[in-house]
């Protein structure tokens, strides 16, 4: 059982290796989504604090011990981070449950898995290699250096603060960058605990990792527009992502965006039905549907539609709502009041559009195991892919069921959407599995599984679901840039008014 007895916990933020209050002295309250009560006080930073943090990160990048460290030593520091996370995994998971209402069963698994990012990218730190280029001039020796891009700003959403930080921090440190992290105003506590229990004891030089807490339009925008920030790595909604991209473009920052989705989970009549039902439930009700990869459009082949819906509703009905701090809870609260209202409004939109609500369809009160910000697991059948409930990201436990005839029809519906983050395919045909994997326009396709992630596999979106990839070998490239070096070993000579080309 999660300890909820503590009164308001006061946090400071971490800038330049020191614990500090916001320059203004202001704080904001963070609430426990299960009780709806404030439980933590977080510094409400503003542009002054962002300036302090970016200056510290910029100093740490240009001078001091960090740029002097060999990549091997950086890798060792990252392995220390991994070991410290292993020690603190349970506690970090519990803080996140308190702050964002995620299930303890999910958080325990996430924080146990997090060290792998630091082991993997720590191992990669001294394997970043440039190249010697056999340039088309015999007197020249040419090579390419891979260099870190500089100060990176991370903007982290409320749905998985620690994991999504790890996805950015590990490759950035391996590349040799320094960072300033802005967590969501709703969920800053787990990151601040991470700084206290992991980053500080790992003894990275001051200024290498900084945190600036506060409101998105104030702190986030100050970071995105800061002239000394070279790259922004953002995870969040598409509307904010588009604004971040636009602002960052003005100062030519590199940007990676991990945005929303409306992922199709496609079930063919040759599937293992029980596995697919479980995959559909996991796709939409895990994490209370508050995940970018939610399988929120369930595409069912006509021939199995009725039987599948019957089994699906039967399984979804058994979902245990309740305290996310209890190990056997399956659906927790919605993280923020605004998100709760948004989900309920989409349920009304779906009803207004004529979709058929076969399960849930409103708030879940205490008698159902719910509470202040709980929504019943909700299933709509009879959804047309053109409806708003099929096209727009709800980010909650609301499933749209859409019928299809055959493979071509499934592909057409799956791809007829602005997003392209993930997709599920349920079939026992190997041929169909590979064909569908190629035809669906999404960054990840899961066959006979759903919502699996790994530090080894690139993750990111096609179309409006984002730019760039996190995880895997590719991710470190996003924190590096190439420098071409030309060494002339021959006479300088030639016409000084004409570009030096080979011919």
When asked if residue 236 is in the footprint of ligand NDP (CB under 6 A), the reply is yes
When asked if residue 220 is in the footprint of ligand NDP (CB under 6 A), the reply is yes
Helix/strand/coil percent split, the chain, to 5: 40, 20, 40
Stretch that binds ligand NDP, among 86-94, 178-186, 345-353, 381-389 (CB under 6 A): 178-186
Per CB under 6 A, contacts with ligand NDP among 83-112 are: none
Tokens for 112? 């146990």
CA nearest to 211, candidates 104, 54, 332, 62: 54
Tokens for 360? 């849930």
Q: How far is the CB of 214 from ligand NDP (least distance, A)?
A: 7
Interface pick for ligand NDP out of 130, 201, 205, 237 (rule CB under 6 A): 237
Site track 366-395 with ligand NDP (rule: CB under 6 A), x = hit: ---------------------------x-x
Residue with tokens 């392995």: 79
Nearer to ligand NDP, 186 or 380 (CB): 186
3-class SS of residue 483:
strand
Tokens for 42? 């977080």
When asked if residue 470 is in the footprint of ligand NDP (CB under 6 A), the reply is no
CA nearest to 362, candidates 328, 334, 390: 334
> Which listed residue (221, 292, 393, 470) is catalytic?
292
C-alpha span between 203 and 229 (Å, rounded): 23
Nearer to ligand NDP, 262 or 403 (CB): 262
Q: How far is the CB of 171 from ligand NDP (least distance, A)?
A: 18
Supply the DSSP string of 49-65, one letter for each residue.
Answer: HHHHHHHHHHHHHHSSH
Q: How far is the CB of 246 from ligand NDP (least distance, A)?
A: 10
Give the N- to C-terminal CA distance of the chain in Å, as an integer.
Answer: 75
Give the binding-site size for ligand NDP (rule: CB under 6 A).
Answer: 28
Per CB under 6 A, contacts with ligand NDP among 290-319 are: 292
CA nearest to 197, candidates 206, 185, 189, 205: 189
- Rounded to 5°, the CA angle 104-109-112 comes to 120
Specify whether 106 is catalytic: no
Stretch that binds ligand NDP, among 7-15, 80-88, 229-237, 280-288 (CB under 6 A): 229-237
Interface pick for ligand NDP out of 137, 146, 228, 342 (rule CB under 6 A): 342
When asked if residue 347 is in the footprint of ligand NDP (CB under 6 A), the reply is no
Interface pick for ligand NDP out of 47, 130, 215, 275 (rule CB under 6 A): 215
Q: How far is the CB of 453 from ligand NDP (least distance, A)?
A: 12
Site track 137-176 with ligand NDP (rule: CB under 6 A), x = hit: ------------------xxxxx-----------------
> Which listed residue (258, 271, 393, 470) is catalytic?
258
Q: Count Cβ neighbours within 10 Å for each residue of 60-85 and write b for 16 or more, e otherwise.
A: bbeeeebeebebeebbebbbbbbbbb
Interface pick for ligand NDP out of 111, 288, 339, 444 (rule CB under 6 A): 339
Tokens for 7? 């009164």
Dihedral of alpha carbons 150, 130, 457, 328, sign? negative
Stretch that binds ligand NDP, among 94-102, 194-202, 230-238, 325-333 (CB under 6 A): 230-238
C-alpha span between 295 and 43 (Å, rounded): 36
Q: Cα 480 from chain centroid? A: 20
- Taking the C-alpha atoms of 146, 147, 152 and 158 in order, what is their torsion angle to the nearest 10 degrees? 30
Specify whether 368 is catalytic: no
When asked if residue 193 is in the footprint of ligand NDP (CB under 6 A), the reply is no
**Which residues here bind ligand NDP, judged by CB under 6 A?**
155-159, 182, 184-186, 215-217, 220-221, 224, 235-237, 240, 243-244, 259-260, 292, 339, 342, 393, 395
Q: Indicate which residues carry an active-site annotation.
A: 258, 292
């Amino acid at each position: 059982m999660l300890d909820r007895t503590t009164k308001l916990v006061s946090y400071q933020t971490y800038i330049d290796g020191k614990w500090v209050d916001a320059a203004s002295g202001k704080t904001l309250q963070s609430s426990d989504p299960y009780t709806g009560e404030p439980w933590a006080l977080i510094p409400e930073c503003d542009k002054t604090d962002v300036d302090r943090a970016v200056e510290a990160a910029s100093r740490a990048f240009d001078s001091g011990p960090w740029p002097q460290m060999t990549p091997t030593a950086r890798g060792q520091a990252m392995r220390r981070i991994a070991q410290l996370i292993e020690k603190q995994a349970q506690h970090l998971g519990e803080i996140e449950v308190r702050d964002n209402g995620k299930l303890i069963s999910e958080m325990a698994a996430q924080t146990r898995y997090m060290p792998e990012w630091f082991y993997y990218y720590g191992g990669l730190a001294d394997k970043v290699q440039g190249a010697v280029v056999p340039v088309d001039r015999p007197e020249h020796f040419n090579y390419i250096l891979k260099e870190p891009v500089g100060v990176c700003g991370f903007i982290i959403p409320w749905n998985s603060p620690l994991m999504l930080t790890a996805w950015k921090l590990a490759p950035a440190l391996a590349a040799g960058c320094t960072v300033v992290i802005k967590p969501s105003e709703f969920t800053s506590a787990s990151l601040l605990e991470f700084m206290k229990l992991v980053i500080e004891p790992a003894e990275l030089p001051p200024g290498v990792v900084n945190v600036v807490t506060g409101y998105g339009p104030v702190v986030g925008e100050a970071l995105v527009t800061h002239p000394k920030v070279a790259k922004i790595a953002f995870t969040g909604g598409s509307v904010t992502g588009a604004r971040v991209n636009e602002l960052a473009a003005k100062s030519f920052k590199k940007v990676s965006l991990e945005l929303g989705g409306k992922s199709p989970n496609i079930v063919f009549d040759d599937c293992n039905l029980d596995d697919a039902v479980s995959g559909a439930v996991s796709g939409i009700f895990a994490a209370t549907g508050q995940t970018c990869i939610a399988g929120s459009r369930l595409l069912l082949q006509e021939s199995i539609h009725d039987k599948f819906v019957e089994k699906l509703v039967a399984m979804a009905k058994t979902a245990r709502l309740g305290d996310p701090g209890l190990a056997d809870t399956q659906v927790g609260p919605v993280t923020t009041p605004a998100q709760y209202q948004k989900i309920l409004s989409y349920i009304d939109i779906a009803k207004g559009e004529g979709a058929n609500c076969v399960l849930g369809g409103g708030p879940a009160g205490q008698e159902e195991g719910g509470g202040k910000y709980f929504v019943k697991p909700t299933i709509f059948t009879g959804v047309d892919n053109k409806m708003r409930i099929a096209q727009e990201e709800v980010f909650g436990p609301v499933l749209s069921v859409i019928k299809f005839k055959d493979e071509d029809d499934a592909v057409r519906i799956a791809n007829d959407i602005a997003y392209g983050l993930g997709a599920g395919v349920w079939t026992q045909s190997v041929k169909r599995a590979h064909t569908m994997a190629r035809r669906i326009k999404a960054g990840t396709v899961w066959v006979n599984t759903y919502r699996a992630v790994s530090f080894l596999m690139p993750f990111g979106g096609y179309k409006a679901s984002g730019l760039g990839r996190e995880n895997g070998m590719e991710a470190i490239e996003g924190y590096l840039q190439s420098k071409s070096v030309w060494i002339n070993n021959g006479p300088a000579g030639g016409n000084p008014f004409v570009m030096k080309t080979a011919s």
